[in-house]
Amino acid sequence: MNKEALSKLSTEELLKKYTAAITMVWLLAIVLTGVLLFFIYVSIQDGLTPLVAVPIVLSAIIPLNVKNMNLLKKQLDSRK
């Protein structure tokens, strides 16, 4: 998201996008933590499995979403 695209959105749309971004970050973090713990448990029971790497690799999405969330928050704060 660039600043020009954000400046064209209404405050209500920005607020909806910001709320959705917060929700997605939390849900993704919770799901990836659960999956990681499950795969660690499976690895302890049955031996090391390469599936442990999946939630670790997918966790790279979280900083990107946080960056977008911060851009939305800055735009919302600038309008107050």
Per-residue pLDDT tens for 48-58? 888 889 999 99
b/e for 20-50, b at 16 or more Cβ within 10 A?
ebeeebeebeeebeebbeebeeeeeeeeeee
d(CA 8, CA 75) in angstroms, rounded, equals 11
pLDDT category of residue 2 using cuts at 50, 70 and 90: low
Question: pLDDT tens, 3-36?
Answer: 678 888 889 999 999 999 999 999 999 999 999 9
Tell the residue number behind the tokens 């749309």, with chain if given: 13
With cut-offs at 50, 70 and 90, classify the pLDDT of residue 42: very high
- Domain range list for the chain: 10-78
